[in-house]
């Protein structure tokens, strides 16, 4: 019996090639898309789950409010971990990680500038799962100046020689002995290190105060401990330990701090939630976006649904041609149940072909897709059974409606050749087409708005001039001779301005956040102010404008004790005529008064997607001022675009003279800036891809339906033509219905897209108004595609010789 | 074999009520060949559908092989049909996607007959009907007469108690029509009960009794000369 079902299914597919093609290819594309998206979703959700205790690890975070400044950050104070371990039975262990900068490491003649060097407590091996290849995890990080390195680094510095006991020199200052070699974290980890230096090398107690938050603290909770109940104990802890320091530094009690509307609190993030759901200041790496992953998940389901709808639609539309067969089967004794099973089996068979095709398609486009979304995805043989397991539910979903509809046919009527398409069936088919196009138009509008928003951010006035700027990176490695380096760079006529700073616009690493105080109208106001160090040429090189006062000047030695605020800071403090007033800021333990010498107009010193925060610029110490000498990580060179090649060669030579073996790393500022939007651009590309696929699938379905309708109306068209209808009349007749459906689809899609994109735009501090042109444009595109599809089929019917169609009947 | 008493079939739409069968009392005995005649719309096909258990009567009694079948459910009717009734249609109603062999095999599949026996019975039947050499062909590849032979083969493959033929010659030229009628006559000679609807008085005369319907009622019945039983 089954063989007979499959045989009939196969032969009817062969007989109706166009429908079969539309069904199978449509379904295969839907399934392919669905598999690709779900692979991505699965990957994003797999982050940090490779740790044995992943479910019990939490990161301690800090949130608070000082005046108008709210902050939420990954950092916490040095004593937090040890104190919690001692005082709370829920905490089984803790480890602190500290990002201590970007050292230049030397071993014999090898010199490399490294970016993934962290300090960690020796307990890092107890909290996290870090397989050790060489050395003993119990002792590897217990001694000062020991370092554990990854296998890749072992190879890089020591080749095939045993790295244990070898000494790595850091920044020509400190020697670290290699005490262990570990496997690297997999890609799906929220942080990656190449080197873990022992925390004791830096004596974290030096940072013993509770208000200085420079560590990432990870807590290992006991099995069964409730994170929520544990979090409820934090307020008491804060009052006990943070309270006295608030009293000491701000001169008010913690209760007073809370009373005046400020806040200071700890909270936990589960390790496995960090990648998708944590967007705090100080994340180790750019995290994923749970919202995007969720949206992609929905899109996957929708696209699969669209493809299934094609199947339902075409199968029921074709029911005419199968009706006679069903009538015969029923007359010969086939029960309704047998007919249902037959059509479900047929649907599963078609689904199986589509899935097989989809697996081949996934395999062939996966490398391209993985690159597009910048995610290492691979399809392994072990995934296949899981994928194929889905053939049955998808086949049942797609086949259920046709099976129940077809099996309900009255054999009497169908054998007499009566029409079996009911009004209800038409409505349902139309409803499904409307649904398909609504989804397609919604996706299309969304894509356009996302692109618009990205364009907007990329071209909006940043408050600075990003053109013709070269960034030489890691110039802090040059050390004390940086002034001479800058001077040498200026020797080339192509170098117009050269500036050194700890931070460049758009790069948030190195932006500090300090609580600063100002006396405004006799009252001390404390705000969190972002700060970094610049030299005298910083405003010139980026073409920043001054709102009040002046920028740092070489002529005035006293400027080393001056500060430039941005307008956001002035507004945050609510101070009038700030120039000449003092800002109290905490550089070490004591607040230091620094004179405000100027106010710079707001510009995007961080990512242009973020609102401009209050910010203060200090002058980089040259060793003579009261601040410790500091050398900025970046040298920015404003160049003459006509002399770019010359200046590049000059920078290379100069670098060699000052930095020796260390490789020169430079980039064009505008490219660095563009990099900030890579994720958004990728998301936009992906949504565009999905929108295109959705429209393609919906169009395939419409094509099938149109050809069916034209076929069904062959006789009507013949009669109309005999009575004098022109080809145009017939075209209009056949396209009119589709156009009606499209209008309804668009009417549904527009409010949906408007709402969804409105929500999405809320993520951006600076956003576009949604243009009506986008809604109109997307709707027109969908309608034109739909009408052309139908017209093509209708045209065939319209130009056919009416005599033929009538005789055929 | 078949006995109906005051059998009615009424079709209702929103506004119109049509009485297709009106108080039909009909007896068909085993081994009979009954022809049903009448003008278009007189209820011939409705009667065939009810007799074939494709449709339930609106009221009245309907005994089939001693069972009261008038209120059977769809499933019960399907079961009864596949065991007892063979159908031959004017338009042959062969499934285009199945070969001649597979078309004839289909009722046996629904009856759950084992494979080997199925093959045997189908081959024998096709040979007997003179289309054995066409068994791997598809319906479209056959002439009308050949298609109707296949349809008759399919109707007979389950050894039904009765064959219902609804204008079996309607789509055939006279030569092929005669062929099919001779086939039915032979079957009847071998003992198969046959009920046939036809427009042709000549073909009606192949049966031993002709029932004339008019406006849903039996107008008259005539016995034909060639009575064989």
Which of chain A's residues have a Cβ under 8 Å away from the Cβ of B55? 412
Predicted local distance difference test score (pLDDT) of residue B63 = 93
Is residue A798 predicted with pLDDT exceeding 60? yes
A290-317 and A17-45 helices, crossing angle to 10° = 160
Name the β-bridge partners of B62.
B4
The DSSP annotation for B123-156 comes to: HHHHHHTT-GGGTTS-GGGS-HHHHHHHHHHHHH
Site from B50, B91, B93 to mutate, A interface, most A CB atoms within 10 angstroms: B93
pLDDT one-digit tens code per residue, A275-292: 999 988 888 888 888 877
Closest-CA residue to A148 (of A120, A175, A115): A120
Higher pLDDT, A34 or A715: A34
Predicted local distance difference test score (pLDDT) of residue B229 = 37
Q: Say whether A7 and B109 touch across the interface (CB within 8 A).
A: no
Predicted local distance difference test score (pLDDT) of residue B98 = 85
How much is the average pLDDT of B138-159? 89
- Of A715-719, A763-767, B99-103, give the lowest mean pLDDT range: A715-719
Tokens representing residue A560 in the block: 């080393």
Predicted local distance difference test score (pLDDT) of residue A417 = 61
Q: Which pLDDT band, with edges at 50, 70 and 90, does A4 fall under?
A: confident
pLDDT one-digit tens code per residue, A535-553: 999 999 999 999 999 999 9
The rounded mean pLDDT for chain A is: 86
Tokens representing residue B221 in the block: 């019945």
pLDDT one-digit tens code per residue, A549-573: 999 998 887 787 889 999 999 998 8
- Of A83-92, A198-207, A549-558, B205-214, give the lowest mean pLDDT range: A198-207
Q: Which pairs with CB-CB distance under 8 Å and at least 24 residues apart come from A222-225?
A: A222/A56, A222/A89, A222/A90, A222/A91, A222/A92, A223/A56, A225/A56, A225/A90
pLDDT one-digit tens code per residue, A142-181: 999 999 999 999 999 999 999 999 999 988 788 999 999 9
Q: Which A-chain residues 412-441 have CB contacts (< 8 A) with chain B? A: 412, 415-417
The DSSP annotation for A705-728 comes to: HHHHHHHHTHHHHHHHHHTT--HH
Distance CA A120, CA A118 (A): 6
Distance CA A5, CA B109 (A): 11
Is residue A418 predicted with pLDDT exceeding 70? no
Nearest chain B alpha carbon to A330:
B78
Nearest chain A alpha carbon to B111:
A333
How much is the average pLDDT of A489-494? 89
Predicted local distance difference test score (pLDDT) of residue A808 = 40
Distance CA A669, CA A604 (A): 14
On whether any CB of chain B is under 8 Å from the CB of A334, the answer is: yes
Instruction: Judge contact between A630 and A621, C-beta under 8 A.
Output: yes
Q: Say whether A7 and B87 touch across the interface (CB within 8 A).
A: no
Q: Which pLDDT band, with edges at 50, 70 and 90, does A802 fall under?
A: low
Q: Say whether A412 and B49 touch across the interface (CB within 8 A).
A: yes
Q: Say whether B78 and A333 touch across the interface (CB within 8 A).
A: yes
Which of chain B's residues have a Cβ under 8 Å away from the Cβ of A332? 81-82, 87, 106-107, 110, 154
Chain B residues with a Cβ under 8 Å from any Cβ in chain A: 45, 49, 52, 54-55, 74-75, 78-79, 81-83, 87, 89, 91, 93-98, 102, 105-107, 109-111, 154
Predicted local distance difference test score (pLDDT) of residue A586 = 65
Nearest chain B alpha carbon to A338:
B110
Query: Side-chain half-sphere of B136: how many Cα atoms within 13 Å?
Result: 0
Distance CA A331, CA A409 (A): 11
Q: Say whether B54 and A331 touch across the interface (CB within 8 A).
A: yes
Which residue do the tokens 């009485």 mark?
A: B19
Q: Which pLDDT band, with edges at 50, 70 and 90, does B14 fall under?
A: confident
Predicted local distance difference test score (pLDDT) of residue B11 = 86
Which of chain B's residues have a Cβ under 8 Å away from the Cβ of A415? 89, 91, 93
CA distance A425 to chain B (A): 20
pLDDT one-digit tens code per residue, A33-79: 899 988 988 999 999 999 999 999 999 999 988 776 778 899 999 99
On whether any CB of chain B is under 8 Å from the CB of A641, the answer is: no
Q: Say whether A411 and B54 touch across the interface (CB within 8 A).
A: yes
Is residue A620 predicted with pLDDT exceeding 60? yes
Q: What is the CA radius of gyration of chain B?
A: 17
A88, A382, A412, A429, B154 from B89: Cα distances, Å:
87, 53, 11, 32, 11
The partner residue sitting opposite B55, judged by closest CB among A325, A336, A412, is A412
Sequence-distant (6+) residues with CB within 8 A of A101 are A117
Name the β-bridge partners of A132.
A182
Closest-CA residue to A532 (of A571, A565, A568): A565
The partner residue sitting opposite A412, judged by closest CB among B54, B75, B106, is B54
Distance CA A622, CA A626 (A): 9
């Amino acid at each position: 019996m089954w063989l007979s079902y499959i045989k009939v299914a196969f032969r009817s597919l062969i007989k109706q090639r166009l429908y079969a093609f539309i069904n199978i290819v449509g379904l295969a594309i839907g399934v392919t898309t669905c598999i690709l998206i779900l692979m991505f979703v699965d990957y994003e959700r797999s982050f940090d789950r490779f740790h044995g205790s992943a479910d019990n690890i939490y990161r301690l975070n800090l949130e608070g409010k000082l005046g108008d400044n709210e902050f939420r950050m990954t950092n916490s104070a040095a004593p937090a971990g040890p104190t919690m371990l001692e005082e709370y039975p829920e905490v089984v262990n803790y480890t602190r990680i500290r990002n201590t900068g970007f050292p230049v490491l030397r071993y014999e003649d090898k010199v490399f500038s490294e970016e993934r060097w962290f300090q960690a407590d020796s307990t890092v091996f107890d909290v996290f799962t870090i397989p050790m290849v060489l050395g003993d995890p119990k002792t590897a990080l217990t001694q000062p100046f020991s370092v554990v390195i990854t296998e890749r680094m072992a190879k890089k510095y020591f080749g095939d020689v045993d790295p244990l006991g070898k000494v790595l020199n850091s920044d020509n200052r400190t020697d670290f002995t290699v005490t262990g070699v570990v496997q690297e974290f997999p890609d799906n980890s929220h942080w990656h290190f190449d080197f873990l230096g022992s925390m004791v090398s830096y004596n974290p107690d030096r940072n013993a105060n509770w208000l200085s938050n420079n560590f990432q603290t990870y807590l290992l909770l006991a099995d069964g401990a409730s994170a929520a109940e544990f979090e409820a104990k934090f307020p008491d802890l804060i009052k006990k330990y943070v309270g006295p320091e608030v009293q000491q530094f701000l001169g008010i009690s913690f209760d007073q701090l809370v009373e005046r509307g400020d806040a200071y609190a700890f909270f936990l993030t589960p390790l496995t939630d960090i990648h998708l759901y944590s967007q705090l200041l100080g994340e180790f790496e750019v995290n994923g976006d749970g919202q995007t992953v969720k949206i992609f998940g929905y899109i996957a389901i929708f696209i699969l649904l669209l493809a299934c709808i094609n199947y339902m639609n075409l199968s029921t539309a074709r029911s005419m041609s199968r009706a006679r067969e069903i009538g015969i089967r029923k007359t010969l004794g086939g029960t309704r149940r047998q007919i249902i099973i037959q059509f479900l089996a047929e649907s599963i068979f078609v689904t199986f072909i589509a899935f097989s095709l989809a697996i081949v398609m996934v395999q062939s486009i996966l490398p391209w897709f993985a690159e597009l979304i910048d995610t290492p995805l691979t399809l392994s043989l072990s995934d296949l059974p899981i994928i194929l397991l889905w053939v049955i539910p998808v086949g049942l979903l797609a086949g259920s409606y046709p099976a129940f509809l077809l099996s309900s046919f009255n054999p009497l009527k169908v054998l007499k050749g009566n029409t079996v398409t009911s009004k209800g069936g038409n409505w349902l088919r139309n409803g499904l087409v409307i649904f398909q196009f609504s989804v397609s138009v919604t996706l299309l509008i969304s894509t356009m708005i996302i692109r618009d928003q990205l364009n907007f951010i990329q071209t909006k006035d940043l408050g600075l001039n990003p053109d013709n700027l070269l960034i030489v990176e890691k110039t802090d490695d040059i050390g004390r001779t940086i002034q001479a380096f800058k001077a040498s760079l200026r020797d080339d006529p192509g170098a117009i301005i050269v500036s050194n700073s700890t931070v460049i616009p758009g790069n948030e690493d190195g932006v500090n956040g300090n609580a600063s105080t100002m006396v405004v109208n006799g009252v001390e106001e404390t705000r969190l102010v972002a700060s970094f160090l610049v030299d005298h040429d910083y405003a010139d090189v980026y073409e920043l404008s001054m709102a009040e006062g002046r920028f740092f000047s070489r002529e005035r030695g006293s400027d080393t004790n001056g500060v430039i605020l941005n307008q956001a800071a002035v507004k945050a403090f609510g101070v009038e005529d700030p120039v000449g007033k003092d800002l109290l800021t905490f550089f070490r333990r004591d607040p230091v008064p620094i004179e405000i010498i100027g106010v710079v107009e707001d510009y995007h010193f961080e990512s242009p997607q973020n609102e401009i925060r209050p910010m203060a610029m200090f002058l980089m110490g040259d060793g003579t001022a009261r601040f410790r000498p500091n050398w900025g990580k970046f040298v920015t060179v404003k160049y003459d675009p006509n002399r770019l090649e010359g200046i590049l060669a000059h920078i290379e030579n100069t670098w060699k003279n000052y930095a020796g073996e260390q490789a020169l790393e430079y980039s064009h500022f505008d490219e660095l800036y563009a990099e900030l939007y890579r994720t958004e651009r990728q998301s936009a590309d992906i949504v565009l891809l999905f929108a295109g696929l959705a429209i393609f699938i919906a169009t395939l379905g419409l094509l099938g339906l149109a050809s069916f309708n034209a076929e069904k109306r062959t006789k009507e068209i013949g009669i109309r033509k005999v009575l004098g209808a022109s080809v145009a009349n017939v075209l209009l007749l056949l396209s009119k219905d589709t156009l009606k459906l499209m209008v309804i689809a668009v009417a549904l899609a527009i409010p949906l897209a408007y709402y969804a994109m409105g929500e999405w735009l809320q993520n951006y501090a600076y956003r576009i108004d949604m243009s009506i042109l986008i809604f109109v444009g997307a709707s027109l595109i969908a309608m034109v595609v739909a009408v052309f599809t139908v017209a093509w089929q209708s045209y065939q019917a319209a130009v056919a010789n009416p005599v033929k169609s009538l005789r055929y009947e | 074999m078949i006995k109906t008493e005051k059998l009615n079939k009424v079709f209702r739409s929103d506004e119109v009520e049509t009485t297709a069968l009106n108080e039909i009392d009909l007896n068909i005995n085993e081994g009979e060949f009954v022809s049903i005649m009448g003008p278009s719309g007189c209820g011939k096909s409705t009667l065939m559908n009810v007799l074939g258990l494709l449709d339930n009567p609106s009221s009245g009694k309907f005994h089939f092989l001693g069972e009261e079948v008038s209120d059977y459910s769809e499933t019960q009717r399907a079961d009864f049909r596949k065991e007892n009734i063979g159908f031959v249609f004017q338009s042959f109603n062969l499934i285009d996607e199945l070969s001649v062999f597979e078309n004839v095999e289909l009722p046996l599949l629904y009856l759950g007959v084992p494979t080997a026996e199925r093959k045997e019975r189908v081959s024998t039947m096709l040979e007997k009907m003179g289309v054995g050499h066409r068994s791997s062909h598809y319906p479209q590849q056959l002439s009308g007469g050949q298609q109707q032979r296949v349809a008759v083969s399919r109707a007979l493959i389950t050894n039904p108690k009765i064959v219902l033929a609804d204008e079996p010659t309607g789509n055939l030229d006279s030569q092929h029509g005669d062929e099919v009628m001779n086939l039915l006559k032979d079957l009847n000679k071998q003992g198969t009960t046959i009920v046939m609807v036809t427009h042709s008085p000549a073909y009606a005369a192949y049966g031993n009794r002709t029932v004339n319907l008019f406006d849903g009622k039996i107008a008259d019945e005539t016995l034909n000369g060639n009575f064989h039983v």
